Amino acid sequence: MKKICNCNIPPNLQKDMMAESIAAYVASLPKEDVVEDAEYERRLELCSKCPDLVGGLTCSHCGCFVLARARKRRMDCPMPGGSVWGNDI
Ligand code: SF4
């Protein structure tokens, strides 16, 4: 597993800590700005199979944490040539 930063925290713990921080951020988003749980899970499932997901957290095309990007109603997948999510934003 690749390290997210160069501190001495083990990579798996870095990922857990980052995921917790992102989850807290996502929970703080206004309800009108987020997608429903089913759509969020659908997007994350597609990201989990994407070869351009780095370290299980980051999209290599935009640099976003997909746990956050996928929750935002106005965001789409930035895959060159067309969204993997298939949304029409
Ligand atoms: S290109 Fe799209 S599907 Fe792939 S990781 Fe980025 S947001 Fe997810």
Task: Give domain limits for the chain.
Answer: 34-89
Local confidence band at 74 (pLDDT 50, 70, 90 cut-offs): very high
What whole-number distance in Å separates Cα of residue 23 and Cα of residue 61?
21
- Ligand 1 atom nearest residue 83's Cα: 2
Among candidates 32, 53, 54, which has minimal Cα distance to 43?
53
Check if 77 has its Cβ closer than 6 Å to any atom of ligand 1.
yes
What whole-number distance in Å separates Cα of residue 9 and Cα of residue 13?
7
* pTM > 0.85: yes or no: no
What whole-number distance in Å separates Cα of residue 78 and Cα of residue 89?
12
pLDDT (tens digit per residue) in 33-69: 999 999 999 999 999 999 999 988 899 999 999 999 9
Q: Whose CA is nearest to atom 1 of ligand 1?
A: 79
Joined tokens for residue 80: 């060159």
